[in-house]
Structure 1
Amino acid sequence: MSEVERFWNAFRVAEPALAGPDATYTAWHFCDNQADADELADLVLAGRKRATAGALWSYEAEGEPLPRPGDLSVVTDWSGTPRCVIRTTSVEVVPFGSVTEEFAAAEGEGDGSLDYWRRAHRAAFEREAVLTGRAPSEEMPVVCERFEVVYPYSIRPARASDLPAILALNAEWEHVTSPLDGASLATLHEHAAYHAVAEVGSRVRAFLLALAPGAPYESPNYRWFEDHSAGFLYIDRIVVTHAHQRSGLGDALYRDLLSYAGRCGIERLVCEVDAEPLNAASDAFHSRRGFVEVGTQVLPDGKRVSLRELSIP
C-alpha cells in the first residue's frame, strides 16, 4: 500500500461522513516544479491558500475532467508525500482577464494581489503552451477552483484569538445550546477547566468547553450539578459547524476531554440533554458514550432537561 493510500484510509477512518465506502479521490501536487509545489502545499496547510487555477486548454490536452464541487483530492508535495485532503467547493471557468482580485487573494500566493496572480499564472500558462500549442491571452479560459481542507484535523487548547470564531460557531447552534455574546464567552473561557477547539486545516470547526466545580457560572444546569455532585467536569457546550457534522470532530473532542479528565483524576463528566422538546441528536450522541440520567429539571422557559453523568474508571 502506498503512502497516499494509507493517508486516504486514515482520512476515511477519521471522516466517515465525508469519505463513504464509495468515495474516490485523485492525488496530485501543485505546479510544475518542486519549489512551487512544496511552497503551495505549505500555504494550504497554513490556511492562506483556498483556491487554485488552471488553463482549460491543459485539461483538454491531457484528457482530464474538470473538477466538480464535492470532489476529494489528496494534495502531495513534489516528492509525492501526502499533505492534506481537500474538498472542492466551487468551480467556474472565466477568461484570464476576468479573474478578480478576490479570487487572487483566495489563491494566497505571493503578496496576494491580482497583479502577482496575473504575472505568475501567465508565466505558468506560457510553459504549458508546449503541451497545448496555444499562447496565453486575456480571453483564454481559466478553471477557477475553490476548496476547503477536510483532513487532517487537530485538537488544541482554545486561545483568546479563537473567541470570534467560537462565537460564530455557537451562533449556528444557539437554538439548541444557548446564546452567547463576546463578554459572556470571554468569561467562560477565563473560568473553563477545559476549553479546546478542533481545527481543520487552520480553521476552527468545533469546540468543547467544560467547567469544574466552583466556577462563577449561573447556569441552572451547572448549579444543579453543584448541588448534587462533586469531582465533575460540566460540559457546558460542544459545537460542531454544520459543514462538519458527523465528521468525527465531536468524537475527537470527547476523547481529548476524557484524556484530560483521566490525567487530572476527575471522577465524572456531566451534562444536560434537552428532553422536552427532545434533542434527538444529542440524546443519541451521549447515550452511545455511556452517559446515564441522574436527574431532570424544568427550566424557567419551560424546557425539560435530562441531567446526565458518565463515570470515569
Structure 2
Amino acid sequence: MEILPLEKKDISAVWEINQQGLPGTGEVTHQEVEGLLGFASFAVGIFDLEELLGFVICMPPRTQYASLNYSWFNERYDSFVYVDRIAVSEQHRNKNIGTRLYDYVVEAAMNINAPIAAEVSLKPPNPGSMRFHSRFQFEEVGVLHHDSKSVTMLIRPADS
C-alpha cells in the first residue's frame, strides 16, 4: 500500500468511497469531487496497486470553496489545513488506513506550522469519528448549526 496524490482518473472511486461514508462524509456529485480536487492544497489516497482504499482531501484557507463549515474556520483562523473529507472503503475499515491518512495530514500541517481544522457531525451524532479525532489531539472550538444538522468544530493546534 502506498499514499499517492489523487488524480482526475480517481474521481469515480473517491465518489464511491464517499457514498459509503454517508452521512458523515456529506453527499457530493462526481463534478463536486472534481471541484474539491481543484480547491485542495492536497488530496491523497491510499492505494493497493490500482485500488483506492481510502482518501483525504484538505483545503488551504481563503479559497472560493462554498462550504459553510469551511467558511466558519475562514472567519476565525488565518492559517489552517482544513480536512474537508476523509473516508475509507467499507471493506478496508479498521485496518489503520484512516490513521495513516491522518498521520499524513499531521505531517503536512507540521511542515507549514498550521493547525488542522475539521468537523464531526453532532446531529446526527458520529461518536466513532469523535473518538478518532480525540486520539489525534483535536479540541472542540465551537458548534455550527445549519438546516437539519449540527457539527462540532475541531482544531488540532499546530504545536500538538
Give the alignment's TM-score, normalised by structure 1: 0.49
Any residues of structure 2 matched to 1:228-247 within 5 Å, and which? 228-247=76-95
Does the 8 A contact of 2:24 with 2:120 survive in 1?
A: no
Provide the rounded CA distance (Å) in 2 between the counterparts of 1:159 and 1:178: 20
Contact 1:233 1:266 in 2 (8 A): no
Q: Identity of paired residues, percent?
A: 26
- Partner secondary structure for residue 218 of structure 1: coil
* CA shift for structure 1 position 169: 0.8
Q: Tell me which of 120, 125, 150 is aligned to 1:304.
A: 150
On the 8 A contact 1:268/1:310 being kept in 2, the answer is yes
* Aligned residue runs from structure 1 range 64-79, under 5 A: none
Q: Which runs of 5+ in 1 are unaligned?
A: 1-152
Q: Return the alpha-carbon distance in structure 2 between the equivalents of residues 161 and 198 of structure 1.
A: 15
Residue identity in the other structure for 1:310: R
Aligned equivalents of 1:155 and 1:182: distance in 2? 22
Residue matched to 2:123: 276
> Alpha-carbon deviation of 1:262?
2.1
Deviation at 1:156, TM superposition (A): 1.1
4+ residue stretches of structure 1 with deviation over 3 A?
A: none
5 Å-filtered alignment, 1:133-148, equals: none
How far did residue 299 of structure 1 move? 1.3
- Look up the match of 2:134: 287
Q: Give yes or no for contact 1:196–1:209 (8 Å, CA) kept in 2.
A: yes
Superimposed CA distance per residue, residues 147-202 of structure 1 (whole angstroms, 9 cap, x where no aligned partner): xxxxxx11111111111111111111132211111211111101100100001232
Residues matched between the structures, number:
159
Q: What TM-score comes out, normalization by structure 2 length?
A: 0.95
What corresponds to 2:71 in structure 1? 223
Shift of 1:251: 0.7
Cα displacement string for residues 113-167 of structure 1 (whole angstroms, at most 9, x for unaligned residues):
xxxxxxxxxxxxxxxxxxxxxxxxxxxxxxxxxxxxxxxx111111111111111
1:182 counterpart letter in structure 2: H
Aligned partner of 1:212 in structure 2 is: 60
Greater relative contact order structure (CA < 8 Å, 6+ sep): 2
Q: Which residue identity is paired with 2:61?
A: P
Match of 1:181 among 29, 33, 48: 29
| 8 Å contact kept, 1:277–1:303 | yes
